[in-house]
């Protein structure tokens, strides 16, 4: 008699284990296959490119819009006659917020679809999972999100910021303007951990102090205990490297715990306009972020970009840094292909060196040494309407330095 209930438990326990593993990847891919333009090619076969983002799971909040921006760029290029007289045909795959899925789909895009380049990824974990696939298959990945640096693959172009184009200048700015004690809060994976190593090294060198460091699993939603710990530690600044929708829970609960932006500064590196929509501008008002681009960035290219994006996807949609970086990536690839006169990966890479493009964020240049791009750094404050007000910018575009070789305190990090 007892046997049956034991059986029931074991079934349940098994199910729970399976579910825990699948929290981030239960949904089936929704947009496999070709998302072609339907127009006949200008001449010859269309050029296939891959688009590989999380269209489901915890990262979908951020990545779907980047996919939209890349599709917009492809559509514009096709409307203007394509690349080398050929239309671009996007092949969309869903990485489902699951790193092995990213690697698998990257392999599929390169081997089966034989795409000329892939635009995709968001979390560093997804990039780290895809990196060996691109290196082995000699493919080309354009990665559009700011990341923790200390990496430079010959098969990846990084169109988002590396640490010295986002984190390092923001820490310097905070030390000068907001205070010396830092509480580091991040999601429990590669980007926040590496970023915090960099921050700790920099704080030690520039006279700051770390009073606490916490990591929570991706998708974590109860921050009450951590907020109590923050209250007890009384930092001047919470440096927030949480990713995905944990930010929603964290900021809502921070506000309810009675901590407002004028009592304590938080600076986030993964909360942009798109995330503000999901969190609520009233909750985030007054908090800071460090990026290279905001929807409010004042350039003629940006005015056109924002107008086109809203025209295509709706007036309530917003643009954000990774969205812009995804859009720029497609144009940089196009420029490189046209300069090379071929989609051959080696030729495209050679042609890309020193390439310039008038991006919505201002002029960007591809660095020939490490395939990152020069970017302007901007610190912004969230306003009531969910847009950023720029408090500071670096003036000129900053040369990418993923291994932080130009900083004295960076030596210990790049040695690792």
Partner 1 sequence: MDMFVLQMFNGLSISSILLLIALGLAVTFGLMNVINMAHGELIMIGAYATYVTQNLFMSYAPAAWFGAYFVVALPIAFIVAALIGWLLEVVLIRHLYGRPLDSLLATWGVGMMLQQLARTIFGAPNVGVSSPAWLNGGLAISDGIIFPYKRIFIIALVAVVLLCMYLYIYRTSSGRRMRAVMQNRSMAGCLGISTRRVDGMTFAIGSGIAGIAGCALTLIGPIGPSLGTYYIVDAFMVVVLGGVGKLVGTVCGALGIGMFNTLFETYTSASIGKVLVFVCIVAFLQWKPRGLVAMRTRSLD
Binding site for partner 1 (CB under 8 A): 1-2, 4-6, 8-9, 11-12, 15-16, 19-20, 22-24, 26-28, 30, 55-58, 60-62, 64-65, 188, 214-217, 219-222, 224-226, 228-229, 231-232, 245-246, 248-249, 252-253, 255-258, 274, 277-280, 282
232 C-beta neighbours (distance < 10 Å), count: 9
Coil, strand, or helix at residue 80? coil
Nearer to partner 1, 76 or 188 (CB): 188
* Smallest gap from residue 224 Cβ to partner 1 (A): 4
Q: Considering beta carbons, is residue 45 or 316 the nearer one to partner 1?
A: 316
Nearer to partner 1, 13 or 350 (CB): 13
Residue 263: how many CB atoms within 10 A of its CB?
A: 8
3-state helix, strand, coil in the chain (%, to 5): 45, 20, 40
- Closest to partner 1 by CB, 42 vs 190, is 190
Q: How far is the CB of 353 from partner 1 (least distance, A)?
A: 36
**CB count, 10 Å around CB of 217?**
12
Nearer residue to partner 1 within complex by CB, 67 or 349? 67
Between residues 12 and 204, which has the closer beta carbon with respect to partner 1? 12
> 């326990």: which residue's tokens?
13
Residue with tokens 């559009």: 144
Residues 47, 118 contacting (CB under 8 angstroms): no
Alpha-carbon gap, residue 120 to 52, rounded angstroms: 5
Of 172 and 221, nearer to partner 1 (C-beta) is 221
Residue 41 or 283 having the CB closest to partner 1: 283
Angle at 268 between CA 267 and CA 270, to 5 degrees: 170
Collapsing DSSP to helix, strand or coil, 316 comes out as coil
CB of 278 to partner 1, least distance (A): 4
Closest contact distance (angstroms) between CB of 155 and partner 1 is 28
What minimum distance in Å lies between the beta carbon of 258 and partner 1? 4
Question: In angstroms, what is the minimal distance from the CB of 382 to partner 1?
Answer: 14
> If residue 50 lies in a helix (H) or strand (E), which one and from where to where?
strand 47-53
Question: Are 156 and 371 spatial neighbours (Cβ–Cβ below 8 Å)?
Answer: yes
* 3-class SS of residue 266: strand
Q: How far is the CB of 192 from partner 1 (least distance, A)?
A: 12
Minimum Å gap between C-beta 216 and partner 1 is: 4
220 vs 312, which CB is nearer to partner 1? 220
Q: What is the closest distance, in whole angstroms, from the C-beta atom of residue 396 to partner 1 in the complex?
A: 34
Query: Could you tell me how many residues make up the chain?
Result: 416
Residue with tokens 């964290």, as numbered in its chain: 250
Question: Which of 122, 123, 120, 124 is closest to 108 using CA atoms?
Answer: 120
| Residue partners of 245: CB distance under 8 A and separation at least 6 | 58, 61, 219, 278
Output the six-digit token pair for 286. 């007054």
User: Angle between the 190-206 and 124-136 helix axes, to the nearest 10 degrees?
Assistant: 110
């Amino acid at each position: 008699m007892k046997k049956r209930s034991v059986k029931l438990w074991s079934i349940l326990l098994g199910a729970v284990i399976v579910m825990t593993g699948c929290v981030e990847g239960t949904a089936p891919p929704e947009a496999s296959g070709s998302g072609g333009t339907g127009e006949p090619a200008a001449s010859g076969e269309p050029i296939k490119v891959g688009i590989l983002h999380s269209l489901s799971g915890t990262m979908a909040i951020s990545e779907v819009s980047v996919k939209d921006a890349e599709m917009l760029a492809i559509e514009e290029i096709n409307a203007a006659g394509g690349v080398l007289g050929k239309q671009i045909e996007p092949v969309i795959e869903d990485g489902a917020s699951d790193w092995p899925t990213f690697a698998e789909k990257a392999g599929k895009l390169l081997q089966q679809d034989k795409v000329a380049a892939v635009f995709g990824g968001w979390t560093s974990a997804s990039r780290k999972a895809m990196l060996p696939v691109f290196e082995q298959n000699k493919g080309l990945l354009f990665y559009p999100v700011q990341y923790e640096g200390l990496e430079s693959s010959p098969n990846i172009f990084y169109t988002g910021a590396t640490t010295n184009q986002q984190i390092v200048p923001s820490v310097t700015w905070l030390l000068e303007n907001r205070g010396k004690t830092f509480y580091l809060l991040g999601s429990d994976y590669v980007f926040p951990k590496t970023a915090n190593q960099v921050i700790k090294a920099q704080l030690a060198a520039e006279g700051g102090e770390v009073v606490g460091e916490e990591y929570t699993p991706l998708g974590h939603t109860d921050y009450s205990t951590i907020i109590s710990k923050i209250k007890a530690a009384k930092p001047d600044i919470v440096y927030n490297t949480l990713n995905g929708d944990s930010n929603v829970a964290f900021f809502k609960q921070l506000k309810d715990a009675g901590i407002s932006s004028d009592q304590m500064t938080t600076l986030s590196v993964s909360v942009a306009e798109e995330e503000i929509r999901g969190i609520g501008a009233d909750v985030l008002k007054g908090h800071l972020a460090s990026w290279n681009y905001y929807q409010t960035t004042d350039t003629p290219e940006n005015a056109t970009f924002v107008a086109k994006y809203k025209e295509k996807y709706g007036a309530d949609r917003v643009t954000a840094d990774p969205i812009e970086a995804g859009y720029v990536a497609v144009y940089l690839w196009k420029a490189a292909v046209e300069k090379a006169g071929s989609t051959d990966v080696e030729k495209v890479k050679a042609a890309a060196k020193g390439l310039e493009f008038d991006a919505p964020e201002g002029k960007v240049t591809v660095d020939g040494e490490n395939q990152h791009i020069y970017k302007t750094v901007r610190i912004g404050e969230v306003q009531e309407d969910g847009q950023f007000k720029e408090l500071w910018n670096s003036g000129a575009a900053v040369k990418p330095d993923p291994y932080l070789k130009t900083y004295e305190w960076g030596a210990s990090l790049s040695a690792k």
